[in-house]
Amino acid sequence: MSEKPNDGVVGELLEEGQSIWLDYIRRDMLENGELSELVAEGVRGVTSNPSIFEAAIADTELYDDEIRRIVGGDGADDANSIYEALAIADITQACDVLRPVYDASGGTDGFVSFEVSPLLAHDTAATIDEARRLWAAVDRPNLMIKVPATTEGVPAIEELIADGINVNVTLIFSLDAYRQVVDAYISGLERCERPANVASVASFFVSRVDSEVDKRLESIGTDEALGLRGRIAIANSRLAYTIYEEKFSSSRWEPLAKRGAKPQRLLWASTSTKNPDYNDVMYIEELIGDNTVNTVPPNTLEAFKDHGKVSGSAIDSEIDQAAADMALLAATGVDIDDVTDVLISEGVNKFADAFDQLLQAIESKRASVA
């Protein structure tokens, strides 16, 4: 285990202004000290989602004893209540492990993200209510509530930020959606009594963009189209960073900065490489940038620690090439707006399906021990 967070490539990323968060949580890593070891090596946050909890609870026996205790007690024992009890316990413990990072960073890092039910992705009022309830249940300043960047999610983001609740905005694929998210964050801060106490990240998804775009480019099949494979997700992300720089250096941002407000950092999500022909750490190496976060699953983190390279900031390089790639994509006949519309719809549905499967698995376990 590293003695200090500056050791190794994870520490090198931090020196470039980028934090690595772990896109994974499971009960055993909290109990056996694995998360504490990763934090000592430089990991500075944890993200979770319904798919992660579905795999952790449904596919292992780690939670079976606690399910038995819940079912045997006097509390509500429906599947959703059991899930929340299990997840809140994990999230709270993870927040406590990361609290020293939160304190040492002045509330910039050390967060653990907990998602509202994906079944509420198209219900603004219900999303706000559930986010407030989960925030109160965990009761840790280094919690982030995850809210999707759907049409209905954006006003919920503003309201929660105004409440002083930390928000991780998830499922951002398009530049237009990202602009709306930043505007909602700033609007929320303008209504917030203590904006200096609020933190937020905008989770901009990466590899899924290449997966969908590459499929369309291969169906076109021209040399120009095939030459764009594996380039659009990074180009899209680099252009998002230019929006970040613009929004958080604007005249509108200046009075909030004077009140101690923090910029909403871009978080690169979905950064495991889906195509085996690509460099397995390309979505880390190509997206290094100041005041950003990259959340990675365990296998991608291990790959980066093994053979990843940090060669300075990459996110703000080749911006002209990024714009040219996006223009060439349009010229080939691939509509990036249609791509991102498909991806957010699929993303919401995938998380909802995982959540349904999770509840079904819990119900099965509940019935077996009742």
- Residues labelled as active-site residues: 146
CB burial of 264-278 (b: ≥16 within 10 Å; e: otherwise) equals bbbbbbbbbbeeeee
Tell me the torsion sign for CA atoms 294, 298, 302, 305.
Answer: positive
Could you tell me the end-to-end alpha-carbon distance of the chain, in angstroms, rounded to an integer? 43
Residue type, 163: D
Q: Residue 149: CB partners within 8 Å, gap ≥ 6?
A: 157, 169, 170, 171, 172, 177, 178, 180, 181, 202, 344
Give the C-alpha separation, 268 to 328, whole Å: 24
CA angle centred on 337, ends 331 and 339, rounded to 5°: 90
> What tokens appear for 54 in the block?
């579905």
DSSP letters for 134-183? HHHHH--TTEEEEEE-STTHHHHHHHHHHHT--EEEEEE-SHHHHHHHHH
Q: Where are the alpha helices (DSSP H) in 59-78?
A: 64-72
Q: What is the largest CA-CA distance in the chain?
A: 66
Q: Considering only CA atoms, which of 246, 286, 318 is closest in space to residue 18?
A: 286
User: For 280, phi and psi rounded to 5 degrees?
Assistant: -70, -5
> What tokens appear for 247 in the block?
């929004």
DSSP letters for 331-362? HHT--HHHHHHHHHHHHHHHHHHHHHHHHHHH
CB of 172 closer than 8 Å to CB of 202 = yes
Q: Considering only CA atoms, which of 94, 204, 196, 119 is closest in space to residue 130?
A: 119
